[in-house]
Amino acid sequence: MKKTVFNATFSITLVAAITSLYVAILQKPTTLQNQIGDIAHTITTTGITVMFNMLEKKQNDAENR
């Protein structure tokens, strides 16, 4: 179950990161594109944080055994 959650988080984060980069590369993004880029950036940051926390918890659990 945890691996599925991690994989889903990774996939969503990857798509958000690509979207964020795409908007950043645009020469003159529209307001909507900027908003999408901001949302994608937030999702990317949150996803990376969640994945690091999951990996850290897994490592701590392994060390406590």
pLDDT digits (tens, 9 = 90+) for 4-22: 888 999 999 999 999 999 9
Q: What residues make up the domain containing 24?
A: 2-64
Residue 1 has what pLDDT?
Answer: 67
pLDDT digits (tens, 9 = 90+) for 28-57: 888 898 899 899 999 999 999 999 999 898
pTM for this entry: 0.78
Those residues whose C-beta lies under 8 Å from the C-beta of residue 37, and which sit 6 or more positions away, are 19, 20, 23, 24, 29
Report the domain count for the chain: 1
